[in-house]
Amino acid sequence: MKDIKSRFLEFVRSKKINIFALFLALSFTILILNKLSRTITNTIPISVNIVNLPETYVVLNDSNQKLNVTLKTYGFKFLRYYLSNPKLTLDYNDKLNLTDSTFKWSQQRSYSKINDQFDKDVEVISISPDSLLFKYDENTTRDVPIKFQKNIQFSPGYDVLEGFTITPDSIHIIGPEKTVNALKFIKTKSLELTNVHLDINQYLELELPENSQHLQFSHKSVRLTAKVEKFTEGTFNIPVTIKNVPKNLSLKYYPKSVSVSYYTNLSGFKDVVAQDFKVECDYNKHLENQSYLVPELVAQPESVKSAKIIQQKIEFIISE
């Protein structure tokens, strides 16, 4: 047993194995070349592409359409077709049958043109199927709004007063009517920022719909801007007014005023005055057997980003 093993190892280490491998590879190459030089008949699937289509139409499923073409030619030609992924051109002007939703191509009307797309030494034996249906739609245009996605964390005491500005705030889309009308908005890619204390000015890519090869977009990104400012809080005591009290009733209520806290930018803090706030209670909104009204903040300055009423109840009694 050791003898056999040692002899095998010597054979592998010798040049004989290299010569054997060379002859084996050479024989295999000659065999392949011999087969490729012969005339063979085979069927290959070939994708199709429609040309001269009017601009008002768009084909919806052309990428899925294939013709099974049986060819007779040299093996080298077949090898080229398998490697190059060829496409056949179907001409819209070859009197394609048009219905409300499909084009119908028939090989009887354009067999010769398909045959002409192959080399002279390639014989087209048959083509199947004998017809193809292409779903189509008419192009339309529409402006679709942009939806801003964000996760922004400001540094303590910083915020934006006038919100975020997106330019443009909508994009123009051209494409099949059904597809375009189904788009209610286009989202931006989410903007992730932390510890923001400086103005924002950057471009955001849009999340365009999947399978949008039939759609044209006026923009693929938008510009986002925002003025970031230092903010502070303040509080005012605002008188409460009650509306819609029936004429035959007299109300006594408490408290007569409520505290309103507000949040505004530091640069405009001194310009905020109590007279710009208004708090009301609507008697029509109170429930039966309820002895209080709910105050609502019905007016506040534009320079205030947010405001809220501290007290949530105004007690009242009906007097004679």
pLDDT 10s digits, 285-297: 888 888 899 999 9
**Which residue has tokens 């006038």?**
162
- Terminal-to-terminal C-alpha distance of the chain: 123
Q: What is the CATH number of domain 139-226?
A: 2.170.120.40
| Residue 278: partners with Cβ closer than 8 Å, 6 or more residues away | 238, 241, 297, 298, 299, 300
Count Cα atoms within 13 angstroms, Cβ side, for 74. Answer: 11
pLDDT 10s digits, 112-150: 667 676 777 677 777 778 777 777 777 888 899 999 999
Alpha carbons 242 and 283: distance in angstroms, whole number:
7
Question: What pLDDT does residue 11 have?
Answer: 54
Question: What pLDDT does residue 5 have?
Answer: 53
Residue 29 has pLDDT above 70, yes or no: no
CB 313 within 8 A of CB 262: no
pLDDT 10s digits, 58-95: 777 655 677 787 877 766 666 666 666 667 777 777 66
Question: What pLDDT does residue 275 have?
Answer: 94
CATH architecture for segment(s) 231-319:
Beta Complex (2.170)
More confident residue, 285 or 52: 285
Three-class HEC string of the chain: CHHHHHHHHHHHHCCHHHHHHHHHHHHHHHHHHHHHCCEEEEEEEEEEEEECCCCCEEECCHHHCEEEEEEEEEHHHHHHHHHHCCEEEEECCCCCEECCCEEEEEHHHHHHHHHHCCCCCCEEEEEECCEEEEEEEEEEEEEEEEECCEEEEECCCEEECCCCEEECCEEEEEEEHHHHHCCCCEEECCEEEEEECCCEEEEEEEECCCCCCCCEECCCEEEEEECEEEEEEEEEEEEEEEECCCCCCEEEEECCEEEEEEEEEHHHHHHCCHHHCEEEEEHHHCCCCCCEECCEEEECCCCEEEEEECCCCEEEEEEC
Question: What pLDDT does residue 168 have?
Answer: 94
Alpha carbons 20 and 32: distance in angstroms, whole number:
19
Confidence of residue 104 (pLDDT cuts 50, 70, 90): confident
More confident residue, 47 or 158: 158
Alpha carbons 11 and 1: distance in angstroms, whole number:
16
Question: What pLDDT does residue 184 have?
Answer: 93
Confidence of residue 224 (pLDDT cuts 50, 70, 90): very high
